[in-house]
């Protein structure tokens, strides 16, 4: 009894199944492991033959009752991969009733011929299996070559231990070759292994695009090895193009999913670590063992050299912080940044200061204000560098912008916060400076011009004797001789630290 592809008379109403539906429920693992299918060679009148694939579906009930299939599997086409729906739809199918005793034991035989124009033949599949087997026999040599090639072309892989990298590359290459040889698509358990490996790469800080690039390196090099090993039948080799890229696509999707999941968890975790690190460093806890552990977790060398930048927190929104975090990862070395209290803190190690300052200033906009601390040793140095940057920042005029370096303003910055203690030293000099501005101008010019009367006179546009007279008058009124180091220091500091 012949049936159409769309509908079969063996089932009624909503429970009806077409031959195509039946085909989709049957197991297939390739020509060597056909599962529920049996190869049937049909010879036509003109002499040519075609391989059909036949399968039996048991009828639980007959004639007027729904018929169900005993087997639960997916049909796969006679090739490497599962048949696409459109291939099944255009594949002619015939259902024939084959009596085998009583009606209740009646079986339905579904014979199906698939579109074979774009499918490899059984002989071709055998050749591909042997070709992949040649590489599998050399898997140790090939995996070592793949690992070396990846680490050479993608420098970020140096962050991953070589032993672990060797192991995962070998497992991936072996899985890919064995699947290609068997004509199988990536299985769920294989993709889970790749997902776990991807999470480990995320843990070591490898960018997702580097991990994706590594899979392409593996595919490229395996293709080259296959090309060198094939026996001249390029048609058989070409059959592997589709399956290889199917694997790459599946692996890429798994990598991206793993990174999306891992990035969210890692981002929250690192944000907490950064806050705790800045809290301890600003609170005098640089010698705490917990600080060392957190620093290592964030990628710092606790005994290395640190440099801090600070900016007013109010000028930085979350929308600016996210690009700053991304930019920090591209600078090389280790850079961690975050808001803490009233300041944005950027702590860097093994990165040129100019690169960090330039990137932070660029993201902060034209009105960005930055304080830059000194480059200092160890975690105690990191604590002090943050203090440097904060002190430099306090010297900025209201509404100011630009970069203020502690090394340029160290004297004023170091005195910040000590005004009350030092007030008695500067009271008289400040009063004189306010009442006699031309005298303090002479002291300033003398200190800037090599401590020479002629240099100061040139700057002020007066005679050298006039400068000498004004310096003497300053000494008479303040008791500070600007021609001596102690007198000059107190005179200059009184002027520099005058809040008025």
Confidence band of 58 (pLDDT split at 50, 70, 90): very low
Of 198, 196, 217, the C-alpha closest to 154 is 217
Q: How far is CA 445 from CA 137, 255, 454, 462, in A?
A: 84, 66, 10, 12
pLDDT score recorded for residue 67: 33
Confidence of residue 19 (pLDDT cuts 50, 70, 90): low
Span 208-229, pLDDT tens digits: 888 888 888 988 888 888 888 8
Distance, in Å, from the CA atom of 5 to the CA atom of 323, rounded to the nearest integer, reads 56
CATH code at 419-496: 1.10.10.2840
**DSSP per-residue letters across 137-195:** HTHHHHHHHHHHHHHHH-GGGGGS-HHHHHHHHHHHHHHHHHHHHHT-PPPHHHHHHHH
Average pLDDT, stretch 66-81? 32
Does CATH number 3.30.2320 belong to domain 122-263?
no
E strands present in 254-355: 305-312, 334-340, 343-349
Predicted confidence at residue 468, as pLDDT, reads 92
Domain with CATH 1.10.490 in the chain: 122-263
**Which of 91-95, 293-297, 380-384, 412-416 shows the lowest mean pLDDT across its residues?**
91-95
- Work out the angle between the directed axes of helices 453-460 and 437-448 (0-180°, nearest 10): 120
Task: State which of 309-318, 417-426, 454-463 shows the largest mean pLDDT.
Answer: 454-463
- CATH 3.30.70.2730 residue spans of the chain: 300-415
pLDDT in tens, 91-119: 333 333 333 333 333 333 333 333 333 34
Confidence of residue 23 (pLDDT cuts 50, 70, 90): low
- pLDDT of 349 over the 50 cut: yes
Mean pLDDT: which of 171-185, 251-265, 400-414, 452-466 is highest? 452-466
Domain 300-415 class in CATH:
alpha beta
Single pTM value for the model: 0.47
- Alpha-carbon dihedral sign for residues 50, 56, 62, 64: negative
Whether 345 has a pLDDT exceeding 50, the answer reads: yes
Over residues 137-148, the mean pLDDT reads: 91
What mean pLDDT comes out for the span 67-82? 32
How is residue 230 annotated by DSSP? Answer: S
The number of helix segments (H) and strand segments (E) in the chain equals 19, 10
Question: If you average pLDDT over every residue of the chain, what do you get?
Answer: 76
Q: Does 441 score more than 80 pLDDT?
A: yes
3-state helix, strand, coil in the chain (%, to 5): 55, 10, 30
pLDDT of residue 10: 43
Mean pLDDT within 445-454: 90
| pLDDT above 70: residue 300 | yes
Q: Residue 303 carries which DSSP code?
A: T
Res 33: pLDDT: 65
Section 123-152 average pLDDT: 82
CB 443 within 8 Å of CB 471: yes
Find the mean pLDDT for residues 315-325: 77
Q: Where in the chain is the domain with CATH 1.10.10.2840?
A: 419-496
Average pLDDT over residues 370-397: 91
pLDDT number for residue 376:
95
């Amino acid at each position: 009894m012949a049936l159409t592809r769309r509908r079969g008379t063996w089932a009624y109403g909503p429970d009806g199944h077409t031959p195509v539906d039946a085909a989709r429920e049957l197991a297939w693992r390739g020509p060597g492991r056909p599962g529920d299918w049996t190869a049937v060679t049909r010879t036509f009148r003109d002499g040519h033959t075609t391989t059909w694939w036949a399968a039996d579906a048991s009828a639980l009930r007959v004639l007027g009752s729904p018929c169900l299939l005993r087997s639960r599997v997916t049909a796969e086409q006679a090739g490497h991969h599962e048949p696409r729906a459109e291939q099944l739809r255009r594949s002619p199918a015939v259902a024939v009733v084959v009596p085998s005793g009583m009606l209740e034991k009646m079986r339905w035989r579904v014979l199906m011929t698939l579109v074979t124009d774009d499918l490899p033949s059984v002989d071709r599949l055998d050749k591909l299996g042997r070709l992949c087997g040649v590489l599998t026999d050399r898997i140790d040599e090939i995996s070592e070559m793949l690992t070396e090639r990846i680490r050479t072309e993608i420098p970020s892989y140096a962050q991953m231990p070589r032993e672990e990298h060797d192991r995962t590359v070998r497992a991936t290459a072996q899985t890919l070759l064995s699947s290609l040889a068997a004509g199988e698509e990536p299985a769920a358990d294989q993709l889970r292994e790749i997902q776990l490996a991807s999470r480990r790469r995320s843990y070591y800080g490898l960018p997702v695009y580097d991990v994706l690039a590594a899979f392409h390196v593996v595919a490229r090099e395996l293709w080259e090895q296959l090309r060198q090993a094939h026996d001249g039948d390029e048609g058989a080799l070409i059959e592997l193009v589709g399956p290889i890229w199917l694997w790459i696509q599946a692996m890429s999707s798994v990598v991206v999913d793993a990174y999306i999941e891992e990035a969210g968890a890692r981002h929250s975790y690192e944000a907490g670590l950064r806050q705790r690190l800045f809290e301890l460093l600003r609170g005098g806890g640089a010698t705490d063992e917990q600080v060392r552990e957190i620093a290592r977790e964030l990628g710092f060398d606790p005994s290395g050299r640190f440099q801090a930048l600070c900016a007013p927190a109010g000028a930085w929104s979350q929308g600016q912080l996210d690009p700053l975090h991304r930019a920090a990862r591209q600078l090389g070395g280790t850079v961690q940044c975050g808001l803490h209290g009233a300041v944005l803190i950027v702590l860097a190690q093994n990165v040129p200061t100019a690169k960090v300052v330039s990137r932070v200033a660029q993201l902060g906009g034209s009105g960005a204000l930055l304080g830059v601390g000194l480059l200092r040793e160890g975690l105690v140095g990191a604590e002090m560098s943050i203090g440097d940057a904060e002190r430099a920042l306090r010297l900025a005029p209201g509404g100011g912008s630009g970069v203020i370096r502690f090394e340029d303003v160290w004297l004023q910055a170091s005195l910040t916060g000590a005004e009350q203690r030092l007030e008695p030293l500067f009271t008289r000099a400040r009063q004189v400076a306010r009442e006699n501005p031309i005298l303090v101008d002479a002291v300033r010019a003398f200190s800037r011009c090599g401590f020479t009367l002629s240099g100061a006179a040139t700057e002020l546009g007066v005679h050298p004797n006039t400068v000498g007279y004004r310096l003497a008058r300053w000494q008479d009124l303040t008791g500070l001789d600007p021609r001596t180091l102690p007198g000059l220091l107190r005179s200059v500091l009184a002027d520099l630290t005058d809040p008025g």
